[in-house]
Amino acid sequence: AQSVTQLDSQVPVFEEAPVELRCNYSSSVSVYLFWYVQYPNQGLQLLLKYLSGSTLVESINGFEAEFNKSQTSFHLRKPSVHISDTAEYFCAVASGAGSYQLTFGKGTKLSVIP
């Protein structure tokens, strides 16, 4: 069985400050890792994913996440946040067993303060 822990349920941060949203996972097999974002009153959108290769993955809007196998982590970072980044962020894991069945964390609400 696999599980995801998002340690922070809410993260307030001032605009233009850096942010890190933490995600730890547990799985007995090789994993694929995802970050999804949910803006207010919208559906979940894929932000970035790690499948294989480089352990550092980036999104088009400046977020990045690094897969750390030894620490079983996939933390999400952005060096300078914008008001428009206010949303809920979900980390998810899928086992590499021929299907991307996702197990989600409980989510982290990022609030960017002007």
List interacting residues with other proteins (CB under 8 A).
4, 9, 36, 42-46, 49, 90, 92, 98-107
3-state secondary structure of 92: strand
Question: Least separation, in Å, of the C-beta of 13 and other proteins?
Answer: 21
Q: Which is nearer to other proteins, 78 or 108 (CB)?
A: 108
Q: Which is nearer to other proteins, 13 or 95 (CB)?
A: 95
Question: Least separation, in Å, of the C-beta of 112 and other proteins?
Answer: 21
Provide, for the chain, the percentages of residues in helix, strand and coil under a 3-state DSSP scheme, each rounded to the nearest 5: 5, 55, 45
Q: Which is nearer to other proteins, 36 or 63 (CB)?
A: 36
Question: Least separation, in Å, of the C-beta of 18 and other proteins?
Answer: 25
Q: Quick one: CA dihedral 57, 62, 63, 68, positive or negative?
A: positive
3-state secondary structure of 83: helix
3-state secondary structure of 65: strand
